[in-house]
Amino acid sequence: MNAQQREQGFVLTCCRAATTDLQLDSEDLPELQGLTVKTCPARIDAIDYLNNSVIRVVLRTPPNNSLQFLPGQYVSVIGPNSLRRSYSVANAPRADNKIELHIKKVEGGAFSQYWFEQAKVNDLLRFEGPLGTFFVRSPAPKKLLLLATGTGLAPVKSILEQFIQIDAAKRPEIHVYWGNRNDADIYTDLHDLAGPNVQAHLLLSRPGPEWTGRTGYVQQAVLEDEHDLSECAVYACGSISMIESAKAALIQSGLPSHKFHSDAFVSSNQ
């Protein structure tokens, strides 16, 4: 554990002993039934630059060893020298079994050096998955609020693709809030993800003088739009600061605490 994580209050529970009685709440997740975590071989099918610091990597798996996953889950990619990094899958399950990853460059990072300087089509990798519980619970809520910062958009895109496959009359009302610092951080056209019953909201927290769109933070935008939070479920993915702020603000404003779900992106700096 590094100093920043200690300052943020994280602890290694495997090294701690309880000094008082504890009450543990365990969520029943029937959606996970039938899914098996396994290690799959994969080859790089495509690498595309989405902006100067984010690439889109498509992995293909053997037909007899494909990944079965729920939209929103992630995989742990095993690369050169057995380095491991976790990446959310950025697409819903596809007929060709390919998976898409959005990878942000980390200066000085060993795995980033591979992705941005060495990786090439047909490279052989392995990944472990599916992992995580960042998926929409059943039954779907009346209104779904999806919050993301940076490449936290990846699992949100996966979830959106899942719902877009459903008849518009049967899908919930969906609002996607994507926050970035400035326009250089934008790596896809968010409105390409919009459609019937799906509204997209792009925000910049440090916009340049030419920016004419919304400004601020995603959690502030949700409150400004005055949703009836008692009828919503929120799924937030991205920076720890956004997730902590959004959770506190939205629960205080009427969101039931059990309807806030999150997946924090923490840089390994390696």
In this prediction, residue 267 carries a pLDDT of 62
* Residues of the chain under the 50 pLDDT cut: none
Residue 8 domain flag: no
pLDDT digits (tens, 9 = 90+) for 93-135: 999 999 999 999 998 888 999 999 999 999 999 999 999 999 9
- Within this chain, do residues 148 and 248 fall inside the same structural domain, yes or no? yes
50 and 124: one domain?
yes
Determine the pLDDT at residue 113.
92
DSSP percent split of the chain into helix, strand, coil, nearest 5: 25, 30, 45
Q: What is the CATH number of the domain that holds 169?
A: 3.40.50.80
Beta bridge partners of 232: 143
pLDDT score recorded for residue 268 = 57
Domain span at residue 208?
Answer: 143-264
> Given its phi and psi angles, is residue 210 left (phi above 0), alpha (psi -120 to 50 degrees) or beta?
alpha
- The neighbouring-strand residues paired with 57 are 47, 101
- For residue 17, the model assigns a pLDDT of 74
The confidence score (pLDDT) of residue 237 equals 98
13 occurs within a structural domain: no
User: In CATH, what number is assigned to the domain containing residue 86?
Assistant: 2.40.30.10
CA distance 133 to 95: 23
pTM of the model: 0.88
